[in-house]
């Protein structure tokens, strides 16, 4: 158990809809990272927050947004969903604001857009 | 353009033998490399890392080798055990040049199967 909790585990929704994925980091970790894993792809970095502030951005679409709350949990909002957004979305946390310290990943949210 | 490449989607090795997983990178700014292991229905877990100031790092049965001139790294598992069957991801970051602040760049993974 990594200590990182992601909810929900599965999500099925229709094109054009909006969903929110939630992540609770490991106790004491200040950084939260979001990654997307599409079919047969590696993990693609989306965005990082550190202690409530956006720290780094990767290949995150404008239709996607995220935030980290004062209690350090994070939410990833995906809107105007398209079929291609179907993927596994992982959240990871670490104590520092650098991803070279080992990241602790949750078990992911599987999003299916129909 | 893939900056971290794992060209073998799968690898089958007999239990007790050595497993060698390979990874190539194209971005010369990468200076810190990590291996993560992933079981089905779970998130990746950190395995071992190496910075560009070293060419080898060892942790128990796991050794990572880095060849900077070839932009190549490999993970050796000796001896291979059934519990090592998993998907292994190679990842890279710009620690010294970029402060490590950006997210990791991952390869697509290699599925290692250990046969009894």
Q: How far, in Å, CA of B16 to CA of B77, rounded?
A: 10
Q: Write down the pLDDT at residue A82.
A: 97
CB B30 within 8 A of CB B105: yes
Cα–Cα nearest to A110, from A47, A1, A19:
A19
Q: Which residue, A75, A76, A51, is CA-closest to A64?
A: A76
Distance from CA of B108 to the nearest CA of A (A): 4
Q: Residue A73 — φ and ψ, nearest 5°?
A: -70, 160
For chain A, the straight-line distance linking the first and the last C-alpha, in angstroms and rounded, comes to 31
Q: What is the pLDDT of residue B98?
A: 60
CB within 8 A of B15, min separation 6: which ones? Answer: B79, B80, B81, B82, B114, B115, B116
Q: Are B10 and B113 in contact (CB under 8 A)?
A: yes
Decide if B34 and A33 are in contact by the 8 Å CB cutoff.
Answer: no
pLDDT of residue A40: 74
Q: What angle do CA B84, B74, B86 make, to 5 degrees?
A: 20
Computed over every residue of chain B, the mean pLDDT equals 93
B106–A92: do the CB atoms touch at under 8 Å? no
CA distance A57 to B35: 22
Reported as a single tens digit per residue, the pLDDT across A11-68 is 999 999 999 999 999 999 999 999 999 987 889 999 999 999 999 999 899 999 999 9
Closest residue on chain A to B43 (Cα): A107
Contact A100 B46 (CB under 8 A): no
What residue of A is the nearest CA neighbor of B6? A42
Q: Give the confidence band of B97 by pLDDT, cuts at 50, 70, 90.
A: low
Q: Which residues pair with A35 in a beta bridge?
A: A45, A90
Confidence at residue A42, expressed as pLDDT on a 0 to 100 scale: 83
Of B4, B89, B100, the CB nearest to A98: B100
Two tokens at A17? 């809809």
pLDDT band at B2 (very low <50, low <70, confident <90, very high): confident
Mean pLDDT of A68-79: 97
Contact between chains at A35 and B49 (C-beta distance less than 8 A):
no
Asked if A73 and A26 touch (Cβ cutoff 8 Å), the reply is: no
Q: What is the 3-state secondary structure of chain B?
A: CCCEECCCCEEEEECCCCEEEEEEECCCCCCEEEEEEECCCCCCEEEEEEECCCCEEEECCEEEEEECCCCEEEEEECCCCHHHCEEEEEEEECHHHHCCCCCCEECCCEEEEEEC
Quick one: pLDDT at residue B24? Answer: 98
Which of A99, A102, A105 lies at the smallest CB-CB distance from B100? A99
Tell me if B4 and A106 make a contact (CB, 8 A cut-off): no
Cα–Cα distance for residue pair A66/A8, rounded to 1 Å: 16
Q: How confident is the model at residue B100 (pLDDT cuts 50, 70, 90)?
A: low
Q: Which among B42, B88, B97, B103 is the top mutation candidate for probing chain A, defined by the most A β-carbons within 10 Å of its own β-carbon?
A: B103
CA angle B107, B104, B63 (to 5 degrees): 65
């Amino acid at each position: 158990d990594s200590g990182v909790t992601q909810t929900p585990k599965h999500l099925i929704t229709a094109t054009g809809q909006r969903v929110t994925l939630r992540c609770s980091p490991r106790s004491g970790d200040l950084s939260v990272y979001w990654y997307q894993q599409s079919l047969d792809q590696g993990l693609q970095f989306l965005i990082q927050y550190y202690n409530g502030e956006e720290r780094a951005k990767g290949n995150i679409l404008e239709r996607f947004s995220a935030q980290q709350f004062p209690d350090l949990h994070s939410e990833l909002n995906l809107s105007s969903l398209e079929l291609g957004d179907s993927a596994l979305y992982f959240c990871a946390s670490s104590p520092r604001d650098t991803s070279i310290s080992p990241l602790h990943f949750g078990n992911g949210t599987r999003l299916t857009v129909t | 353009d893939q900056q971290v490449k794992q060209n073998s989607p799968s690898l089958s090795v007999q239990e007790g033998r050595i497993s060698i997983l390979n990874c190539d990178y194209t971005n010369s700014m990468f200076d810190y490399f990590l291996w993560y292991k992933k079981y089905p229905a779970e998130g990746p877990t950190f395995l071992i890392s190496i910075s560009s100031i070293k060419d080898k790092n060892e942790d128990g049965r796991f050794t990572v080798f880095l060849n900077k001139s070839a932009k190549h790294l490999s993970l050796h598992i000796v001896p291979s055990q059934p519990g090592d069957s998993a998907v292994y991801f190679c990842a890279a970051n710009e620690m010294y040049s970029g402060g490590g602040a950006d997210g990791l760049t991952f390869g697509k993974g290699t599925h290692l199967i250990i046969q009894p």
